[in-house]
């Protein structure tokens, strides 16, 4: 890792000054993201004198609004102290309407926060620091970030939505914390134990392995520690799954895990019912209150004995501990 090592390029300051003085594209530091009208506007300070389009001497409250350059369909708000690209409408309007794209993130391990004055501009010729070591060269980080052929939406912290060839993956918890080491200078690594994801794969072989002819289709995998399949009004018991803050609160989630029905394993349930069916179908009464004669039948003795010996174990293993329904 670079550890903030400074570049020694003598032209760095001149290049940065030229970018600041540009009348089309500038780089600024986010000062505020509090827009009372919820238009997505932010306030950005551009370093430099006012006669070169900068904001030196301008109070934070007097900075012009910056409007998002991308459509509202894509929502991403920079954090304060991050860097953004600024577009103006001409030299005579540098201190009125502005538009922005950002935040500027140098490398994927900085997605959560990449400060303007320290690391955000690494990689540009006018940056004051060199980039960190590439995550793609560290085996423990393989699979965390999209490849060059992917189209991906990266979350701020530990989530992403990635489209691959014939595949889409929605996941959370993709990495876990770890101590930096010689082989991995970062404080995280690929989560190989509790990663949760929904994976939809197209053009997968779905025919049985012993089938003479292969057939192809779509396979959807849902992987998690716990899986809840919850309905709204008609579910029993009912749960609050439309909380306006977070849909399902932590307290309600704990309630679901405790009170929702456990999903039965179909093959175990079927084995239980078959044993029960064999015992019932071979159970014979002679009528008039006489005792059942099938107790002396070797066939039914075997059916009853099989049911008695397996019933308890099947009942204990029949219900899933990790999938709940209502």
**pLDDT tier, 25 (very low <50, low <70, confident <90, very high otherwise):** confident
**pLDDT above 60 (res 291):** no
Cα–Cα distance for residue pair 300/136, rounded to 1 Å: 65
Q: Mind listing the pLDDT tens digit for each residue in 178-228?
A: 999 999 999 999 999 999 999 999 999 999 888 888 999 999 999 999 999
Cα–Cα distance for residue pair 70/74, rounded to 1 Å: 7
Q: Mind listing the pLDDT tens digit for each residue in 48-58?
A: 998 888 999 99
User: Can you give the pLDDT at residue 9?
Assistant: 46
Q: Say which CATH architecture domain 12-110 belongs to.
A: Beta Barrel (2.40)
User: Can you give the pLDDT at residue 294?
Assistant: 52
**pLDDT above 80 (res 12):** no
Phi-psi category of 143—alpha, beta or left, where left has phi over 0 and alpha has psi -120 to 50?
left
285-298 in b/e burial notation, b at 16+ Cβ within 10 A?
Answer: eeeeeeeeebeeee
- Are the C-beta atoms of 31 and 62 separated by less than 8 Å? no
Q: In sequence order, which residues have a C-beta less than 8 Å from that of residue 196 and are 6 or more positions away?
A: 171, 172, 173, 223, 224, 225
User: Can you give the pLDDT at residue 11?
Assistant: 47
Where along the chain do its domains lie?
Answer: 12-110, 135-205, 227-326
């Amino acid at each position: 890792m670079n550890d903030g090592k400074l570049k020694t390029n003598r032209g760095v300051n001149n290049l940065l000054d030229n970018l600041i003085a540009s009348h089309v594209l500038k780089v600024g530091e986010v000062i505020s993201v509090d827009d009372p009208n919820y238009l997505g506007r932010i306030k950005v300070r551009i370093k430099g004198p006012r006669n070169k389009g900068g904001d030196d001497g301008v109070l934070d409250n007097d900075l012009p609004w910056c409007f998002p350059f991308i459509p509202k369909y894509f929502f991403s708000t920079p954090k304060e102290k991050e860097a953004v690209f600024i577009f103006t409408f001409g030299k005579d309007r540098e201190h009125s309407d502005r538009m922005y794209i950002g935040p500027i993130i140098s490398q994927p391990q900085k997605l959560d926060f990449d400060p303007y004055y320290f690391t955000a501009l690494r990689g540009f010729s006018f940056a004051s620091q060199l980039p960190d070591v590439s995550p793609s060269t560290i085996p423990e980080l393989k699979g965390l970030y999209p490849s060059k052929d992917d189209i991906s939406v990266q979350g701020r912290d530990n989530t992403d939505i990635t489209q691959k060839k014939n595949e889409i993956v929605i996941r959370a918890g993709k990495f876990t914390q770890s101590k930096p080491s010689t082989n991995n200078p970062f404080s995280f690594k690929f989560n190989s134990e509790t990663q949760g994801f929904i994976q939809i794969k197209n053009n997968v072989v779905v025919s049985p392995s012993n089938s003479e002819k292969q057939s192809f289709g779509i396979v959807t995998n849902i992987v998690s520690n716990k899986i809840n399949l919850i309905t709204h009004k008609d579910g029993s018991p009912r749960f609050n799954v439309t909380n306006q803050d977070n849909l399902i609160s932590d307290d309600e989630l704990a309630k679901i895990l405790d009170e929702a029905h456990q999903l039965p394993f179909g093959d175990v349930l079927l084995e239980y019912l078959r044993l029960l069916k064999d015992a019932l179908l071979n159970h014979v009464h002679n009528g008039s209150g006489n005792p059942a004669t099938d107790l002396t039948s070797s066939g039914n003795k075997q059916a009853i004995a099989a049911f008695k010996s397996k019933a308890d174990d099947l009942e204990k293993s029949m219900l899933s501990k990790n999938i709940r329904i209502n």
